Amino acid sequence: MHADQQLSKSLKPRHLSMIAIAGVIGAGLFVGSGAAIQQAGPGILVAYLAAGLVVILVMRMLGEMAAANPETGSFSTYADKALGRWAGFSIGWLYAWFWIIVLGIEATAGAAIMHRWVPGVDQWIWALILMVLLTLTNLGSVKSYGEFEFWFASIKVAAIVIFLLAGIVAILGFMPGVPAPGVTNLLDQGGFMPSGPGAVLAGILVVVFSFFGAEIATIAAGESENPVDAVKKAVKSTVWRILIFYIGSIAIVVTLLPWNSASVAKSPYVAVIELYGIPGAGTIMDIVVLTSVLSCLNSGLYTASRMLFSLSRRGDAPKSWTRISKRGVPAAAVLASTVVGFITVGLNYIAPDTVFLFLVNTSGAIALFVWLVIAASQLVLRRRMGAAAKDLQLKMWFFPYLTWIAIASIVALIIGMVILESTRESLFLSLALAVIVVGIGVWRYRKGGAAPAQATSGEEEPASVGAGPAS
């Protein structure tokens, strides 16, 4: 490995486009949406729309900063400049921790599907195989990661597009054997909000985390041929991706089937496919979910390693993690992420209901913390730019009003996690972890403490977004 190598710039526009899409479409959409529908009824559409609007605002703010200054560390480096070195340190480590925990969750989910197909092979062996496969992919080259993610995302997009088109045909009454439902399932099963507005508000907390991952595109942009254009395209397409893929597909489900049916609770997409009369609905959905799991594993390992690499480059992680292979991959950071990922997979089999559950809960609210830091950083950096902001290639809409609305919305979601009993423990554990990490960051960068590190990887230290570093 060589410390003087630079990260490869081999991701193409098609890779970045699909990475952005893959970040939004996760297994949570296909599997977790059933519980959300059962909780709020057809009104869950309002919850998805509200959560989607928050994500759209956050991505626009992040896009503004990333288009002005594409960085592998993304929002962590912007927090450095806007809020102080302690903030970049803290949110970078929390974000890397989130994705490392995701590795354990997704590897186990994928192994469960493979074990159903090939029961002769123990589930833990499948988890090991999946982790090794995706580790090798990420060690190979960033182009390998991009290609895998391109095809994983293509399968997911194709599945949802077919699902949507078939749904429209069925709703219009043109599908043989499926009577047109009209608005019966939307209004006649206790009304549009059968459990009241409170359930819809609680539903926002359930669905909002499904959208986490869209920001991966801004991290990957640093390894693309044209990062500025890639960021602009990814951010601008976030709106229609959320509207079509999430809200569109959930609308198909709640229009075609009663929201309170057992089949919807178990697996809404399988229930709709069975309604179409397509044989092997469960197997079809298993394939789509497995693709989503592999995509999430692939992206999780990539994202965690790049954040650890960025932290190392700034002196906030072991210096050895800045080493880059001849293929332009931060191999040491990839392996560091993998080692902890393997440990979490092991804990999920050894102590699933104690240690692993505890670790998962410590990451439960990190998405909201990340979004809050993104919004606060954009607010500070945009104001610091002054008149120079007119030259930005991508701007936040109606600044600073929508930025403040986004901040208020995220704070409201955090308060909601306190109120809702099912999310309270996860929030408190996430807060406890955040307090520890922030405490370390503040202590590390207290007045007279460690000085900010300079780039050591050969990747040039980029210019600041705004008028200079935070004082």
Give the span between the Cα atoms of 16 and 233, in whole angstroms: 9
Q: Is the Cβ–Cβ distance between 370 and 95 less than 8 Å?
A: yes
Q: How many CB atoms lie within 10 A of CB 63?
A: 26
Give just the sign of the alpha carbon dihedral 222, 82, 455, 321: negative
Q: Give pTM, 2 decimals.
A: 0.88
Side chain identity at residue 308, one-letter code: L
Give the span between the Cα atoms of 34 and 43, in whole angstroms: 13
Q: Is the Cβ–Cβ distance between 165 and 298 less than 8 Å?
A: no
Reading the chain (471 residues) residue by residue, the pLDDT tens digits are 444 467 777 777 777 777 777 766 766 677 778 888 988 899 999 998 998 899 899 999 999 998 888 887 889 999 999 999 999 999 999 999 999 888 888 888 888 889 899 999 988 899 889 999 989 988 888 888 888 888 888 888 888 889 999 999 999 999 988 888 888 889 988 889 998 888 888 888 888 888 888 788 888 877 877 878 878 887 877 777 777 888 899 999 999 999 988 888 888 888 899 888 888 888 888 898 888 888 888 888 888 999 999 999 999 999 999 888 888 889 999 999 988 888 888 888 888 878 888 888 888 889 999 999 999 999 999 999 988 888 888 899 999 999 999 999 999 999 999 988 888 899 999 999 999 999 999 999 886 444 444 443 334 443 444 433 332
